[in-house]
Amino acid sequence: MLVITFVIAGSLSYWQGWLFLANFCGWSAALTVYFVNHDPKLVEQRLHVGPTAEREPSQKRIQSFNSVAIIALFVVSTLDYRYGWSGSVPVAVVVLGNLLIAAGYIGFFFVFRQNSFAAATVGVTAEQRVISTGLYSLVRHPMYASALPMFLGVPLALGSYWGVLVVLPILGGLIARLLDEEKHLVRDLPGYGAYRKEVRWRLCPGLW
């Protein structure tokens, strides 16, 4: 992220990039330290991430697409800064972007607190059970719901309006992932079918 941010932006005086990295990496470090101490098994599970870590062929394809889309989010946003496509983005918009990233990480925190089975890959372990309390009583995929404001916040935090357009394919990739994931959970996780009937909404209460 450091290389993408500053090499592509072409400047070390890119203050939006420094603020973004401090915010993004600070939250990552804080959550890592907390869960290493409180739920090390969760941290171990989440170390296996990305297309090559997925067991299902469909998820390998989906995660390959998502990986490219997320890299594109950073590349387009930093190129925007370099060439000034968005003009002068107000400081308030940059601050808003960082707040959205923080909101996403706060959502992740509560998801991980409430669900120790929240691995980074799609699959069901022998001891896994359905989690239906906390955020999971509102939507079936609160981790993906938390990721959406974070992804929207990234281009704004980096001072880019054009980068927001890249959030659309990322949203499509997340939807494809969760729909495919639900097929495996209904098949392999006892009680998930009943949970789907109990909690109607996937990402946003009242919408979808």
The pLDDT of 67-79, averaged and rounded, is 96
* Per-residue model confidence as pLDDT tens digits over 156-178: 999 999 999 999 999 999 999 99
Number of Cβ within a 10 Å radius of residue 163: 28
Confidence (pLDDT) at 192:
93
Average pLDDT value over all residues in the chain: 93
Report the C-alpha gap between 68 and 62 in whole angstroms: 10
Confidence of residue 37 (pLDDT cuts 50, 70, 90): very high
Confidence (pLDDT) at 21:
96
Confidence (pLDDT) at 100:
98
Report the C-alpha gap between 43 and 20 in whole angstroms: 24
Lowest mean pLDDT among 6-20, 73-87, 113-127: 113-127
Does CATH place domain 2-119+129-198 in 3.40.50?
no
Provide the residue count of the chain.
208
Distances in whole angstroms, Cα of residue 92 to Cα of each of 22, 88, 96, 151, 185 = 17, 11, 6, 18, 41
**Residue 144, H or E segment:** helix 142-157
Spatial CB neighbours of 198, under 8 Å, sequence gap ≥ 6: 132
Lowest mean pLDDT among 27-31, 108-112, 113-117, 173-177: 113-117
* Per-residue model confidence as pLDDT tens digits over 117-160: 888 788 888 788 999 999 999 999 999 999 999 999 999 999 99
% of residues, the chain, pLDDT over 70: 100
pTM above 0.85, yes or no: yes
* Per-residue model confidence as pLDDT tens digits over 47-67: 888 888 888 899 999 999 999
